Structure 1
Amino acid sequence: MKIDVQGTVADGFEKVRDAFAANWDDVEVGASVCIVRDGETVVDLWGGYQDRDGTRPWERDTLVNVYSTTKGLATLAVARLHEDGGIDYAAPVAEYWPEFAQAGKGAVTVAQLLSHQAGVCGVETRLTVEDLYDWEKMTSLLAAQRPLWPLGEGGGYHAVTWGYLPGELVRRITGKSLGAYTRETITGPLGADFWIGLPESEHGRVSDLIGPNHARPTTAPQMPGTGEPAGEPSRLFQLALQNPSIRPFKDACSAAWRSAEISAANGQANARGIATVYGACVGPDPIVGPASLAAACQIEIEDQLDLVLQTDTRRSRGFIMNSGGAYGPNLASFGHGGAGGSLGFADPDARVGFGYAMNQMQPGVPRVTRSGRLVAALYACLGG
C-alpha cells in the first residue's frame, strides 16, 4: 500500500521517514512515529488510515490504545512521587496500602511489586471485562489474593493486574487516581497526548484497533491477541492474560474501556505523546530528577525466566530495560512496549525519546518488526 506520509523530519533523520513509509509495504494501516532529541522534536510523522478500507485518514492528533506501553507512563508517575518524597521503593507496600498485607504479602516491597515479583499476576476469582472498570473491586481482590508463587522465587508478568498496583499506591498517598496524577505532574505540564482514563470529549480522535494480517510470517506460531508463543498455556499465563479474556477489537475499542483507568493496558496515545514523555526523561529539563529516574531504572530481574511468559526479561521497577537491541545499542535505555506493536523508550546516552503507535495489531515476533525497522533507522542516523 502506498500512502502519503505527513509530518516533519529534521535534516539527518530522513532514513526514519524512509523506514516509516516502508512499513506500508508490509502490514501497516495507520500509524505515527516521533523522536525527540535533546528536547527538540526531530521526527514527527503520521500516515495511513484509521480503517482497513482507507476511508478515514490517520490525522496528526489521532490516538490509539497502546496496551502495555502505558506501563512506562505509570512507572514514571511512581518515580515522580518518589522524587517528591511520597514513596520509598524499599518500603513494604503495606506501609501505604495496609490491606495488601493479606495472605502473606506483608513483606512485599514497592520495588518487588513494580517489578512483577509480588505473585499477583492474576486473581483466582473469575472476572469479566466489566470488572476491570471497577477500581475498588479489583484492588480489593488483589489485596486479598494469595501470592501465586513464593516471594523471592522470581517474577512473572502482571499483564493487566499490574496497573492497579501503582495506581492504588498513588491513590493512597496522594488521594488522586493515577490518571489524574500523571496528568497533573507529567503529561499536562509537557502537553503530551498520552492518557490514562480518556475524557469522553477526546473519544472522537481514537482509532479502533485492527485485526492482524495473518499473511505476515512470524518466528513462531502465536497465541491470538497476546503475542506469546502458541501451545498449552500455563495456569499462570491463563490467570495473567486470560482472566478475563479481553477482545482487542471489541472490548478494547469500547467507550467504557477508553474512559477507564487500566494503567497496565489501556493508555490512549499517539507517538508524539509517547516520545514527548520519554524525551522529557533524558532532555535538558527532565520531568523526573536523575536520582529518582535512576531508582526507577534499578534492575530487579535479570537472567531469569519469566514465570508467566517463559521468556527472559531484563526488568526494573516498572520499565523493561534494553536487551537484544529492542531500544537500540545502549543498555541503559528503558521503556515499555505494548501488545500488537506499540513502543516507547528513552536512551539516556543518545538523549533520545522514541514513540511509535499503530492500529494494525500484529501478534508475535515478526522477522522484522515495524518498530524495529524504525529504531534501526534512528540509530543509523545517529551513527551507531
Structure 2
Amino acid sequence: MRFHNRSTTPSYFSRRDQIRLFRLVAALGVIFLAMLYASREENWYWLTGRPADDPARQQAKEPPREIDFSVKEEAPLRPDVFRSEPKREIEAPEKVIARLESGEFDVRVDPRLLNPVSDSNLGIRSDEANAMYYLLAKATAIPQNVLEQSAEPAPPFVVVMTESPQYRGKLMTVKGSLKRLQTLPVEENRYGVESLYEGWFFSKDSGTHPWRVLCTQLPPGIPTGNDLADMPDVQITGYYFKKYGYPSAAGKLQTAPLLIARQIRWFPTAKQTAPSSSGAVKYIVSLFLVISITLAFLIWRFMVSDQKFARSRTAKLMQRPDMSMDSLKDIKTVDINDVLKQMGQQKEDPPAGSDKPDNQK
C-alpha cells in the first residue's frame, strides 16, 4: 500500500509486500473471529456473571401444563348436616420459637402444622387462619436478611400452581412488579400480630395472573393503593401457603399463589433509571470501538512505513528517470568478433624487435 505517486506499476511479488499483505489478511481474520466470539452470550459471563436459572428459563424447559385457576365451590348443606374441621396431627404452638438453643435462627416449618390448609378455596377458612398467623409471626421474628439467605428461588409459576401441596410451607423468593398494596384488618390471634398488609404483584412468568402476599411490615416510602400505575419492582421472600381463591375484577372466581412474608423489599432506584433498549448495546459499542481503533492503528502503521520507505535509498533509486536512447548515440560501439580476431593476430605475429627462439639462432 503506497500513498505517493509512482512512475511505474508497483510489483506485489516482493517478499516485503507479501508479508505486509499477509499481516493485513491475518488482522482481518482476527477481527472476524473476535466478532464471532463476542456474539455468543456465554463468552461474556466472566464480565457479567452467569445468570441464574430464572423462572422464565425453567418454564421454557418445562413441557406445557394446564393450570387450574378455578375455585372449589362447596355444595350447600342440609339443615341437619354440618362440616367438621380437618383432624390435626399436632396442635399449633402457643408461641413462635424463632431461635434454636445454639442461637441460630430456625426458618423451618413443621409441615404437620399446615395439614388443615387446602388449595382452591375462596378466602382463608377459619381452620386455616391459625396456621396463617403462625407463619406471619414466625416470619416477623426472623430478620429479613436471614430469610433471604435461607430462601431458594421460587419455581416457575406454572409449577407452583400445578404442584401446590409440594411447596406448602417452603421458603422462596419471587421478584415482580407490584400492582396493589393496601392495609387489611387484623383478626384476634394468639401470636401477637398487630399489623397486616396485602400485596398483589406479577412475576415475569405469571403473565396476567398475579401472586398474593401477606406481610406485617412495609419499607419506608413504598407506594400504596389499589391500582399502582408505576408498578414498582419488588422482591418477596416468604413461606408459600396455598392457592388462594378470590373474585377477580371481572367477577370471575380464580386462584393465585399466596405467600406469607415479613416485609416487601422495594427497589426504588431501579425504577428511576430509564431502562436500556437492549442489554447488549454496550457490548456492541465496545466491540465497534475496538475494531475502529485496530483499523486506525493498521492504517497508521502503513502510512508510517510508506513515509519511511519514501526516505530510503531504494525509493530514490526507483524514482530516478530512465536514460533516454538519444544519450547512447555518441557512445562508440565495438563488435566482439573484431576484438577476438585482433587478439588472435597479436598472438601469432609478435611485435618487431622481440627476441627469437633459441632453435632459430
Classify the TM-score, shorter chain: under 0.3
Higher relative contact order (CA 8 A, sep 6+): 1
TM-score of the two chains, using structure 2 as the length reference? 0.22
Compare CA radii of gyration and give the structure with the larger one.
Answer: 2
- Give the structure-1-normalised TM-score: 0.21
